[in-house]
Amino acid sequence: MAQVEAADELLDADPFALLTGMLLDQQVPLEKAFKGPHVLAERLNVERLDPAAIAGHDPEGFAALFSTVPAIHRFPGSMAERTQKLARMIAEDYDGDAARVWTGAKDGKDLLKRLEALPGFGAQKAKIFVALLGKQFGVQPRGWRAAAGDYGAQGSKRSVADIVDADSLAKVRAFKKEMKAAARS
């Protein structure tokens, strides 16, 4: 996803990093968004992101971590705040274990509902994340494809859920470009 080995390893190993990457995936290239959790971990000098520690971090200091050049996101202040809100919810509602968002889901519909309840996750982002979990992480509760909508379709090249290499990244980019052009006309 991030197209950087160390960043992709963190996304594979750390469920909160994966959620954070998805949270950051707006108005920046998706590689930058999904590299963001790794950059944050480096700046915090940790191997994994701890939702409770992030939630409890001084907001100004945390925003400074996002703003340090190169900034983690195009909008470092607002995305630092959203990341802390997400961390707070994971710490409080899921005992700090981000994977419980999906391991505790009864089915695809419940998973989608849990994701939509997260700060910074709207309906589309939640569907993409359901597809990402199902296609790349083997999280496939009953009805997950239906919950993911078009993003859950086999063989689609619509979103980060379909990116496994440079070729699939190029196909997703081409699809997004087509959609933007269609929306403008």
Residue 42: predicted pLDDT: 97
In this prediction, residue 165 has a pLDDT band, given cuts at 50, 70 and 90, of confident
Find the farthest-apart pair of alpha carbons in the chain and give their distance in angstroms, rounded: 47
DSSP code, position 71:
P
Read off the pLDDT of each residue in 13-29 and give the average, rounded to a whole number: 95
3-state secondary structure of 18: helix
CA atoms within 13 A on the CB side of 74: 10
Cα–Cα distance for residue pair 9/96, rounded to 1 Å: 20
The interaxial angle of helices 5-13 and 30-44, nearest 10 deg, is: 80
Q: Which residues, in sequence order, are CB contacts of 103 under 8 Å at separation 6+? A: 139
Is the pLDDT at 60 greater than 80? The verdict is: yes
pLDDT 10s digits, 107-159: 999 999 999 999 999 999 999 999 999 999 999 999 999 999 999 998 888 88
DSSP code, position 94:
S
Task: Kindly list the distances between the CA atom of residue 91 and the CA atoms of 19, 44, 55, 95, 165, in Å, as whole numbers in the listed order.
Answer: 13, 18, 8, 5, 33
Full-model pTM: 0.93
Closest CA to 16 of 136, 110, 118, 113: 118
In this prediction, residue 176 has a pLDDT band, given cuts at 50, 70 and 90, of confident
Residue 114: predicted pLDDT: 98
Closest CA to 62 of 47, 46, 82: 82
